[in-house]
Structure 1
Amino acid sequence: MSVKTKNFIVSLLISLVYFLGISRFPILANKYIKSEFVLKNLTNINMVLLLIFGILVYLFCKKFPTNSVSKDSKKESLLKSILIGACSGIVLLVVIQIVFKILGFLGYPYDMTGEFIRIKNLVSNNKIALINMVFIIPFVTEIVYRNVVFGYLYDLYEGGYKFVRLFTPACLAGILFALINVKHALPIVVEAVIISLTFGYVFLKTKRIESAIIGNIVFSTGIVILSFIVKTSVL
């Protein structure tokens, strides 16, 4: 069996477990599980499952890389990779706000006030949700969408133009994320693609998925901070 075939099978299996199982656990639990304990603690159980899944896939991919980026021996130092990731997260915060302004000017407005209110209320009512939003979700997102999905799609374009090898897989991974996880409004899809392009590039630049993880954590932390700083009319 060729390396490409093995990578395809492994990437497919990981993706199926995540998309059909882990990410749908709350829906499946509400439908099929009658345990009062499980339903009462569904959010916390889902967080633990996400974290365990993310750690297992991370360790597996470190031991058995599923793409050429992770296998590349010319990696940036861990410290430099962390700094690059952190800076990318900060820059991305600014870029996203600018993009939303431009889209609003073009007739595709997206009011972040409602989203900030939702985040603020969620974190205020459940402190554990803060860990989920700023660490667990970014961690699992980068492991699945960047290391597995983007990494495999990137290798499919082997031999093509560098920009196309980055742009096409990043767009596909970003659109997939938007369709599965968030609203389908154009600004949100554009945001997901920009995030995917940014952290996809960071992953390629450093050859370390840890850099993209740090970037997403910084970005998500910034969003939570903004939700408490930005004045809203509804609390």
Structure 2
Amino acid sequence: MRISFTRGNVSHLLLSGIIYILAVFIIPLQLPRNISIDSRVTTVLILSFTATAILIYVGRKGTNDIDRHKSNYNLLTLVAIGIIGFISMMLIQGFINGILVYFSNFFHFDTKSKNTSNVVEIIKMKPYFILYVAVLGPIMEELFFRKAVFGYFYDAMIGSKSWVRFTVPALITGFIFALPHDGISPIMVVYIGMSFVFSYLYLHTKNILTPIVSHILMNSLVVLVQLFVH
């Protein structure tokens, strides 16, 4: 396995990371505690819109070896593959959740995502927050985690075998992706599974739109199930 950290697009990785972290964590946490929930949610949505637009702008050109290869699929096919990826991800997630529930009987850990529960509670109070969870969040996460993080490590491992060049970046991206959601816990396996599916879609189609479609559909379904089934 060969790694060259100077081979990847460091500037795009850092700039995307700064934009994402500022919009999702730092600025929202600096908001005054006494402001209303309406103002807080509205501010988060404005920040997300702004961050999404900037991330699209800075990543509009080929930022890694994946982007530099022209996709062989038209828009309709890209969306269709995204839908297939969504279905695959839900099946994989169901399988992983089943394993987690089984092992939780022996090791006594929580198999429910606290992050998802918190988000659903906010949506119950302010339904328009679903725009962030179902659309803006997935777009930002794919532009940062897939295009910037996965793309950077994929480039950095150019001298490795193809399966290693995919597996290691997907694993790293999944671990980093899990940290701000539910931290280091058994649920991490779910986020790593997501990373492998979405990274494969990106690598296969050479277009970030495909994992964005899958991610949007997945988040939408998870939120709707939490709202209307549980």
Fold match (TM-score > 0.5)? yes
Change (3 A) 1:157 1:191: same
Native 8 Å contact 1:171 1:197 kept in 2:
yes
CA-to-aligned-CA distance 1:24-49 (integer Å, 9 cap, x gap): 21112348xx9x58x86122212211
Please, what is the CA RMSD of the aligned residues?
Answer: 2.5
Q: TM-score, normalised by structure 1?
A: 0.83
**Residue 200 of structure 1: aligned partner:** 199
Post-superposition offset of 1:228: 3.4
Change (3 A) 1:73 1:122: same
**Residue 91 of structure 1: aligned partner:** 88
Q: TM-score, normalised by structure 2?
A: 0.85
* Equivalent runs, 1:11-30 vs 2, <5 Å: 11-19=13-21, 21-23=22-24, 24-30=26-32
Native 8 Å contact 2:115 2:181 kept in 1:
no
Count of aligned positions: 221
Post-superposition offset of 1:131: 0.9
**Residue 51 of structure 1: aligned partner:** 49
C-alpha distance in structure 2 between counterparts of 1:49 and 1:207, whole Å: 28
**Residue 101 of structure 1: aligned partner:** 98
Q: Secondary structure of the residue that 1:184 maps to in structure 2? A: coil
Post-superposition offset of 1:159: 2.8
* Equivalent runs, 1:1-16 vs 2, <5 Å: 7-16=9-18
Native 8 Å contact 1:75 1:208 kept in 2:
no
Change (3 A) 1:89 1:5: same
Change (3 A) 1:122 1:27: closer
State the AA in 2 paired with 1:226: V
Post-superposition offset of 1:161: 1.5
**Residue 73 of structure 1: aligned partner:** 70
Post-superposition offset of 1:165: 1.3
Native 8 Å contact 1:116 1:228 kept in 2:
no
**Residue 140 of structure 1: aligned partner:** 140
Higher relative helix content: 1
State the AA in 1 paired with 2:154: Y
State the AA in 1 paired with 2:96: V
Q: Secondary structure of the residue that 1:12 maps to in structure 2? A: helix
Native 8 Å contact 1:93 1:222 kept in 2:
no
Task: Give % identity.
Answer: 20
State the AA in 1 paired with 2:202: F
Native 8 Å contact 1:50 1:136 kept in 2:
yes
Native 8 Å contact 1:92 1:195 kept in 2:
yes
Of 210-219 and 113-122, more deviation after overlay is shown by: 113-122
Q: Is there any run of 5+ residues in structure 2 with no aligned partner, and where?
A: 1-5
Native 8 Å contact 1:123 1:129 kept in 2:
yes
Native 8 Å contact 2:38 2:126 kept in 1:
no
C-alpha distance in structure 2 between counterparts of 1:114 and 1:153, whole Å: 29
Q: Is there any run of 5+ residues in structure 1 with no aligned partner, and where?
A: none
